[in-house]
Amino acid sequence: MELKDKVVVITGGSGGIGKAMAKAFLNEGAAGIMLADLDAAAVAQAAADIGCNGMACDVTDEAQVAALVAATEDQYGQVDVFCSNAGAGGNGLLTDAANEVWQQQWELHVMSHLYAARAVLPGMIERGEGYLLNTASAAGLLAALGSGPYTVTKAAAVKFAEFLSITHGDDGIKVSVLCPQGVNTAMAPRSLGDGQTDGIIEASALAQTVVETMREERFHVLPHPEVEEYVRRKGDNVDRWLLGMQRLRKRTLEG
């Protein structure tokens, strides 16, 4: 898909990846951008900075997501691209991560994508075209050491994007899932431990990868290209991959 003349909604849009994508899409000639974020003041400032619209939205509240889509349609007539990008870290394993953390991560990283799809798919299917870009993580394809709720829910986000593509590809709906490692945002790791990331990239570089991937309508958006090889190795021999991850975790704990 070419982004020229397209109307785009971006959640998690007040900074980092969301704001960078908005800038890149406008440079590609997007007809309109609606930024959304939980922090009303922050998203209003971000929208003013780059010259687009913005509104507050809690993406874990389906009614608010529906209202976001309705407001965008009122402003621009339709939604061509929905970037379901909001997310947050969630540390802990099994015994030390409270049920509330698991539930919050599930609502933010999985249900928010479902709510977005429910809100925009009817119009997209009626027109016979549309694009859903869901932000997951390389952790969803592989694993994040020490972060059970994050890894599990990001994996579910990848699976949900696959389900969307399979189910609605014949309706003209394109789907991509964004799976970065470290990006220079508020969520970036403060240090680079063994296997934690192949390097922290700038959000602007990630946004350019998004533009290029959407143009080619490929499913995986991989700003860190090494991830593709890791996924291939995992698929070739999952038992060997699991043993390798166990060794990596042990080295990390010992280091």
Q: Token pair of 186, please?
A: 């508020």
Q: Where are the alpha helices (DSSP H) in the chain?
A: 16-27, 40-50, 62-76, 99-106, 112-127, 138-141, 148-168, 203-216, 226-236, 238-254
86 Cβ contact list (under 8 Å, min separation 6): 11, 12, 18, 36, 37, 38, 59, 108, 112, 135
What is the C-alpha to C-alpha distance for residues 150 and 135, in angstroms, rounded to an integer?
13
> What count of other Cβ atoms lies within 10 Å of the Cβ of residue 122?
10
Catalytic residue among 76, 131, 150, 230: 150
230 is catalytic: no
Give the residue from 192, 212, 211, 206 showing the smallest Cα distance to 252: 192
Provide the annotated active-site residues: 150
